[in-house]
Every structure is written in structure tokens, then in C-alpha cells.
Amino acid sequence: MIIEKKKYGFLDMVLIPFKVSPMYSIIFAIKYIADALMPTLSIFATASFINNAIMVYNGEASLSSVYLSIALIVGIMIYSTLINSLMSFVDCKRNIYFRRRLVPEMLEKLARLEYRHIENPETAQLIRRVCPNINFVYGGGMINSYEHQFFQNNVWEMYTNVLGVLEFIIYFLGITITIFTQVWWIAIIIVLVSVPVIYFGNRAGGKNYGIYMEKSKVTRQANYLSEVMMSREGTEERNIFGYVEQLNTEYGKKLKVSAVLWLKAFARNTIEARLCGMVVILCFTGTMLALVQSVTNATITIGMFIALMGTMFGLSNKLSWDVNDLASKITEKRKFLKDLTKFTELEEQEDATSKPKKNMTFNKIEFKDVSFKYPGTDKLILDGVSFVIENGKHYSFVGVNGAGKTTITKLIIGLYTNYEGEILVDGKSIRDLTQAEIKGLSAVVYQDFAKYNMSLYDNLAIADIDNSNTYEQAEKAIELVGLSDAVTNLENGMDTLLGKIGKDGVDISGGEWQRVAMARIVMSNAPLKILDEPTAALDPISESAVYHNFEQISKGKTTIFISHRLGSTKLADIIYVLANGKIVESGCHSALMAENGLYCDMFNSQVEWYRSDVDEKEVTGDAQKE
């Protein structure tokens, strides 16, 4: 395992890339070391060539004395010309290899995170700093839009920054030792000048990462506004409401804030770097004058003087810009490692990526005095709730928004474990079940269900990852949810690619997408089927028909219906009515209507929704009897 739970420090900038690929790490280390040695080698090659050329000109040496220095200079030039092109090719292969090694591991880590970290704003910010540009669906499952370029690039940049430090140290030592052998006190001045440059670079790095943290929040908001203005899903409402100009203005404001944050950091860093650069230039001007005096005194040769002058210009530029930038980046990466440490310390769900257990069964699920509030909040969503779900029966949870209906489903499927009271499956705490058992226990369709841009059959088959269901069963599921006519009109039937991501993809309506989601739950072998308002895009009559069909195909299974619209409740054996986090009424439809309580009021207020030319008399008659 490459990314593990530990406190990450400076050494990990080297250790992580070596864990990913020792070969590529060594290749690039050799390249950086070679780059560091070239300037020193160039000094001696240039000095030797000039000195020998002067001697040849003066008749003090033969022409052959310059051959070796010419060969060295040509070799250095060939190396400088070819190495970058060659390493660009190697880096492309390295990037692909790193992506193949790191992305799956980060996927695994994200899939194992406890669900509360996904919904908690603070930890969600942390996750997005480490792995930005991700939209994930919890549950061992799927990362929808996934770009881990930032993470893998950060890992590699940490290493190349360390190699950059190593390169500069070797380069700096080579130059200063060479100068020290010629004029020792100039070398000492160069060392002293470099200290404040490194200090300011280190300070800038810490501030830059802090600005990045602030900038990332604003940038993410701007990206969302951009997505709203450009997405296909919002096309109709953009035309109807004409909000593009207003959102575009807000988008511009967000980008301006982001730009201002970055420009302030850039301006500050530039001023500090330029001030340091001016000090370096002034000091180097003095040292160059001293070198001229050394030539006059014959302390150094003309060749060494010319070679050192060229090198001093390069060293001045490195101290003015490169060292400051490198120190800043190293500090930024150390801040990133602190975030990575916090990220790896986030609690994980044991066996989160395990497959659902086959042939899972239960006799009874019982909530006993369960209270729950979401992490980081003080409001009780469930307040001492007790009820029983028995195998083979159909249940309906009804209530106004915020009553706690969806929260109950989240507790049943194990997304949260920080509740008070007990949730028992056949007398065993749900906390003691494995993730495989919890996944095998239930299948859920939420209102905000996923739309997979893959074939229709694959959209259904992912509900049964062991592929025990066949095309015939998929066709049956499609028929039961009322999609048969729509599938008949598709050119490739169930093999048709849904969505516009592919060339031959077909976009279907929102209502048809919801029927696909419901067909998916039909394909699941889980004994408990939960429908949490998945028919919101359907009209009440169609919704009632879908629920009726679903009730027919769920015989022998246990179902839970959750809906604001009460057309499905008459199919339920038991209805639980929630209000203010408590179950205030329970019973079958007729019994609750007879009580003339909250449920009766809700049902009577909606009865007109379900009248049609076909069933108007039936619905009216039922209402009058009850």
C-alpha cells in the first residue's frame, strides 16, 4: 500500500514516489544530479579551452591541446539539447504509470471513508484539497467525475522539488568550491547572501498554501456556477428564466476574488524576490570587480575569469528567482503533506468495498428508542423512534419535509452509526453486521438517483454485480416498471448507450430515467427494497401505477415506500406517520383514515391528485367509505 495512515513528513516527499516506481524515481534522480554537475564541468571545460587557445595563439602549445576541452564543451551541448526531449518522453510514460498506481488506491480510500466525512463541510473541504475535481457517490461504489491529476502531480512535484533542492545544493557546492579555490572570500559572501533568499522563499510557501486553501473555496463555487450555465440539464430553465446574465455576473465576481487572492500573493512574492535579487546583484557586482582585480594580480587565469563570470550571472539568477521559488514550493508541499496526514487519518468503514452478501435474509428489523442528529449539528432528526419492519410486508413512511423519513433509510443501510438506542436485525445490532451483510440486506432508490452513461442493460446489471440475473430478467424488470414501449423504440434495445457522453448515446426523459432506477432495484436480490421518493418526476397517476406494479413484483419481499404523495400508501400493510422526529401514528390505510388524524388530513388534501377519467369514481368512493 502506497498511501497509508501515518504522519507524513519531508522524507515522504522522496519515499512515496519510490514506493510507486523506484525505476522512474532513480532515472529522474540521475538526470537532476547530471544537470547539477554540468555547470561546474562547463567552468573547467570553458576555462581550459580559453587558456589553451591563448597558449596556442601565443605559440606556447600545439592545437591538439584544445581537443579535449572542445570535446567536453560539445558533449555538454549535446547533453543539454537531447536530455529534455528524451526526459519528456520518459515523463509521459512515468505519468501514465503513476496514474495507474495512485488513482485506484485513492479510489479505494475514498470508497472506504465513513459517510459522515462526505457530508461534513470541513472534512469535505479537506478531501477536495487533497483530491480536487471529484464528485463521489458513497458506498464502495463509484466516483462519477474523477480527475486525480492534481494528487498524482502533487506527489511527483514533491519529489522533483526535493530533487531540485539536491540539484541546487550540488550546483551551489560545485560553484562555490570552485570559486573558493580561486578567491576564497568571494565564496563565503555567496553563501551568506543565499541565507535570506531561502528564508523569504520558505515564508512565501507557507502563505501561498494558505491562499490556495482560500482560493480553492471560491474557485469551486465559480466552477459550480459555470457548470449550471453550461450543463445540458439546465438548458430549459436557462431559456425560461433567463438567469444566465445574473449568474455570469456572479461567476465573474467569484473569479475576480480568486484572481485578487492569487495576485496579492504573486505581487508579494515578486517584491520579496526582486528585493532579494537586488541584494544578490549588488553583492555579485562587487565580487565581479574583485575577480577583475584577481586577474590583474594573476591570481586566476583569464580562462577561469571568463568562465566564472558567465557562471556568476547564472548563479545570480538562480538565487534571485529559482531558490526563492523552490523554497516556496517545498513549504507548500509540506503543508500539503499535513493535509494528506489528516486525510489518511479520516475514519474508514471496515469492509466498505466488499460485495453484497448473497442470499441475505431477515425476519425482523427493529428500531428501539432510536434518536439521531447529524454530525456537527444539535438538532434531533429522530427523537426516540421505535418501530418494527417484518419480512414479507409492505411499509410506508409519510410525513412533511424534515420529519426524518430519509434519515431512517440512511440508518437502515448503515451510512450512520452515531445514533442512540438500538437498531436490531433479527436481534443482532446492525453495528455488528459486516458491510457485506448490510449491502446484501437492502437495495435503495433515492430521489437523486444516479444516471449512468452506459448501456441500458448495464444500468440494470450493476444492481447485481455477480451477474446472476439474465437479459430475460432485465426485460421483465423493464416491463414491470413500464419501460417496454420506450425500449422498443431504441435502435439497439437494451444495448443502447444512455446519455450523450458517447457518439451513439440516446438521452431519455427524466421520468424514464426514474423508471430505469426502479428497474435496477428490481434486479437486486436484496430482501428489503426501499423506494425513497424515486417517482418525483412522474405525475401522480403514473406514480400510483408504478407503485402498484412494484407491489406486484415485490411479493415475498419487504418494501418501504417513502413519498410526500400518498398514492402508494394504500398498498402498504403498515404506514408510519412521522412528525418532528417522532412516529405519531401507525397502522393500515383504513385504520389511519378512521382515526381522522394527521394522516387523514394529508390524504384528503391530496386525493384530487389521483383522479382520472378511469378511476375517479373508485377513488371518490374509497374516500367516502373511509
Q: pLDDT at position 120, please?
A: 81
Name the more confident of 354 and 199.
354
The residue among 283, 314, 345 that closes a domain is: 345
Q: Tell me: do 340 and 203 sit in the same domain.
A: yes
Q: Is residue 492 a part of any domain in this protein?
A: no
C-alpha to C-alpha distance for 135 and 158, rounded to whole angstroms: 25
- Tell me the mean pLDDT in the region 531-554: 67
Q: pLDDT at position 261, please?
A: 72
The three-state secondary structure class of 607 is helix
- Tell me the mean pLDDT in the region 358-373: 93
**pLDDT of residue 541 exceeding 50:** yes
Domain range holding 148?
A: 12-345
Q: Tell me: do 304 and 380 sit in the same domain.
A: no
How many domains, in total, are found in the chain?
Answer: 2
C-alpha to C-alpha distance for 580 and 399, rounded to whole angstroms: 9
Per-residue confidence band for 283, with pLDDT thresholds at 50, 70 and 90: confident
C-alpha to C-alpha distance for 339 and 333, rounded to whole angstroms: 10
Q: Tell me: do 378 and 315 sit in the same domain.
A: no
**pLDDT of residue 625 exceeding 60:** no
**pLDDT of residue 384 exceeding 80:** yes
pLDDT digits (tens, 9 = 90+) for 35-94: 999 999 998 888 888 888 888 888 888 888 888 889 998 999 999 889 988 999 999 999
Q: Tell me: do 318 and 435 sit in the same domain.
A: no
Across the chain, what does the average pLDDT equal?
A: 80
Q: pLDDT at position 537, please?
A: 56
Q: pLDDT at position 335, please?
A: 83
Q: pLDDT at position 132, please?
A: 66
C-alpha to C-alpha distance for 465 and 524, rounded to whole angstroms: 9
C-alpha to C-alpha distance for 157 and 437, rounded to whole angstroms: 42
Per-residue confidence band for 139, with pLDDT thresholds at 50, 70 and 90: very low
pLDDT digits (tens, 9 = 90+) for 177-197: 888 888 777 778 777 877 776
Q: Tell me: do 376 and 337 sit in the same domain.
A: no
Per-residue confidence band for 207, with pLDDT thresholds at 50, 70 and 90: low
Q: Is residue 470 a part of any domain in this protein?
A: no
pTM of the model: 0.69
Q: pLDDT at position 462, please?
A: 85
**pLDDT of residue 28 exceeding 60:** yes
- Terminal alpha carbon distance of the chain: 64
DSSP state, residue 538: S
Residue 275: CB atoms within 10 Å = 14
- Look at 157-161, 202-206, 341-345, 386-390 and tell me which has the smallest mean pLDDT: 202-206
Q: Is residue 516 a part of any domain in this protein?
A: no
Q: pLDDT at position 620, please?
A: 40
The residue among 345, 372, 387 that closes a domain is: 345
- Tell me the mean pLDDT in the region 119-139: 68
Averaging pLDDT over each range in 22-36, 150-164, 217-231, 480-494, which range is the top one?
A: 22-36
Q: pLDDT at position 612, please?
A: 45
DSSP alpha helix (H) spans, 482-584: 484-488, 510-523, 540-553
Q: Tell me: do 386 and 322 sit in the same domain.
A: no
Q: Tell me: do 303 and 174 sit in the same domain.
A: yes
Q: Tell me: do 95 and 244 sit in the same domain.
A: yes
pLDDT digits (tens, 9 = 90+) for 316-350: 777 767 777 787 788 778 888 999 999 999 988 87
Name the more confident of 503 and 385.
385
Which helix H or strand E contains 576, and what residues bound it? strand 574-579
Averaging pLDDT over each range in 183-187, 256-260, 437-441, 471-475, which range is the top one?
A: 437-441
Which helix H or strand E contains 25, and what residues bound it? helix 22-57
**pLDDT of residue 422 exceeding 90:** yes
Q: Tell me: do 235 and 284 sit in the same domain.
A: yes
Q: Is residue 464 a part of any domain in this protein?
A: no
Q: Is residue 353 a part of any domain in this protein?
A: no
- Tell me the mean pLDDT in the region 433-461: 88
Q: pLDDT at position 622, please?
A: 44
Handedness of CA 273, 278, 282, 284 (dihedral sign): positive
C-alpha to C-alpha distance for 57 and 241, rounded to whole angstroms: 85
- Tell me the mean pLDDT in the region 125-152: 56
Residue 496: φ, ψ to 5° = -70, 135
The residue among 345, 376, 392 that closes a domain is: 345
Q: Tell me: do 318 and 422 sit in the same domain.
A: no
**pLDDT of residue 204 exceeding 80:** no
**pLDDT of residue 26 exceeding 90:** yes
Q: Tell me: do 306 and 435 sit in the same domain.
A: no
Q: pLDDT at position 540, please?
A: 64
Averaging pLDDT over each range in 141-150, 258-267, 446-455, 601-610, which range is the top one?
A: 446-455
User: Per the structure block, which three cell numbers stand in for 166?
Assistant: 539536491
Q: Is residue 502 a part of any domain in this protein?
A: no
- Tell me the mean pLDDT in the region 501-523: 82
Per-residue confidence band for 137, with pLDDT thresholds at 50, 70 and 90: very low
Q: pLDDT at position 489, please?
A: 87
Q: pLDDT at position 623, please?
A: 41
Per-residue confidence band for 221, with pLDDT thresholds at 50, 70 and 90: confident
Q: Tell me: do 228 and 309 sit in the same domain.
A: yes
- Tell me the mean pLDDT in the region 486-491: 87
Residues present in the chain in total: 626
Q: pLDDT at position 469, please?
A: 60
Name the more confident of 546 and 6.
6
CATH code of the domain containing 276: 1.20.1560.10
Per-residue confidence band for 145, with pLDDT thresholds at 50, 70 and 90: very low
Q: Return the C-alpha torsion angle 519, 505, 489, 525, nearest 10.
A: -10
Per-residue confidence band for 619, with pLDDT thresholds at 50, 70 and 90: very low
Q: Is residue 483 a part of any domain in this protein?
A: no
The three-state secondary structure class of 374 is coil
Q: Is residue 202 a part of any domain in this protein?
A: yes
Residue 87: CB atoms within 10 Å = 15
CATH code of the domain containing 415: 3.40.50.300
